[in-house]
Amino acid sequence: MAINLDDPKRFRPLVGQAHQVAMNMLRPISRKYDKAEHEYPQELDMLAAMIDGLSESGASEGAGAAGVKRDEKADDDGGVKNGTNLASVMSIAEMCWGDVGLLLSMPRQGLGNSAIASVADAEQQARFEGVWAGMAITEPGTGSDSANISTTAVLDGDHYVINGEKIFVTSGDRADAIVVWATLDKSLGRAAIKSFVVPKGTPGMNVERLEHKLGIKASDTATIRFEDCRVPAENLLGSPEIDTKQGFAGAMATFDNTRPLVASMAVGCARASLDLTRELLSQAGVEVDYDRPALTQSAAAAKFLQMEADWEAAYLLMLQAAWMADNRQPNSLEASMAKAKAGRVGSDITLSCVQLAGSLGYSESELLEKWARDSKILDIFEGTQQIQQLIVARRVLGLTSADLK
């Protein structure tokens, strides 16, 4: 079967709209909310209303992650589908060409929404439609190992009682609800970890503080403590049964969905840096010639060509992971490959662009220094570079997490 590397025609209007929003709505307020850390960008309310209108009219082509349902198979008609996951990564990349922190601050577009899309049953999908959901995974003592979660959820009648502390919760203070990962039984390991939708204002869920960060300052990042927090049993996403054979599948389905999204953020931010750096090099008399070998050009042009090649590889891996999700193909390996490649080269590209631009790159006269700060988190959250490499190695070698740590 031939592979067409052009953008799907039906997504081009969506991508064009996202680019216009990034250029005309996000870029102009980017520096403002970088300096006004923790201040909610009121301009996003109008943007969210526009997106809702596009979704209702069908004009958005369904942008917004559809999730990775492991129990569903690809269509049997032999055809392929360019669907919501592909539309999402393409539009998110364009939005992050504008500003990563503002994209992460968008109402009803939280990482918790991807968890709901991936794990929730049909009734829960309908009940939580339109909810802005943050996602609480990381804990003070767990590091990058999500399977080592110690927050507990104990069934008490028709409620679960949650106790524990979560850190680095994106949109933790602003979101309508938080998807909390907790264990039903620590002794049963990964299989007992489930996710719960906890609405904002639920007694026992308290935002302890907001973090001051290197980048994405427009996005609020919270520490949340759960103390005897009672959540209705029906807010446990998916099945409450502990299936030791299935193990960590529910949680991993969420990551299979969110990791390509984070890759798209890195791709968009890196593209912004490349575009501006090419302009600045041209103004300085350095032209990048795509028809000549890099070794015959200036050092700056050769470096730029190498960065563009790295970017192209990350972009294609991102598209592959999202396309596989749309076609209900297992994409754990590809999701981690996309996240690892995009996270690393995104950070490398934005920092290298600062260097190529010299004093212009290091000062606040341009956004290059901001993009370098913003991009670093994209190599860290949703699984660090090192965790992604570990997952890829396990998948390629056919080893379990117990075999290769």
Q: Name the residues annotated as catalytic.
A: 382
Q: What does the CA dihedral 38, 136, 346, 370 come to, rounded to 10 degrees?
A: 10
Are 315 and 349 in contact by the 8 Å Cβ rule? The answer is: no
Pairing mode of beta strands 152-156, 159-170 = antiparallel
Question: 309: how many CB neighbours lie within 10 A of its CB?
Answer: 11
d(CA 113, CA 11): 22
Q: Which of 117, 250, 236, 112 is nearest to 179 (CA)?
A: 112
Q: State the DSSP string of 260-313.
A: HHHHHHHHHHHHHHHHHHHHHHHHTT----TTS-GGGS-HHHHHHHHHHHHHHH
Are 153 and 160 in contact by the 8 Å Cβ rule? The answer is: yes
d(CA 108, CA 129): 9
d(CA 223, CA 170): 9
Does the CA dihedral 212-213-214-217 come out positive or negative? negative
Adjacent-strand bridge partners of 258: none
Q: Which of 251, 236, 214, 174 is nearest to 347 (CA)?
A: 214
Helix/strand/coil percentages in the chain, nearest 5:
50, 15, 35
d(CA 70, CA 90): 23
Residue located via tokens 């730029």? 304
> How buried is 169 (Cβ within 10 angstroms: 0-12 exposed, 13-18 middle, 19+ buried)?
buried
d(CA 321, CA 263): 10
Question: 56: how many CB neighbours lie within 10 A of its CB?
Answer: 9
Helix (H/G/I), strand (E/B), else coil: 130: coil
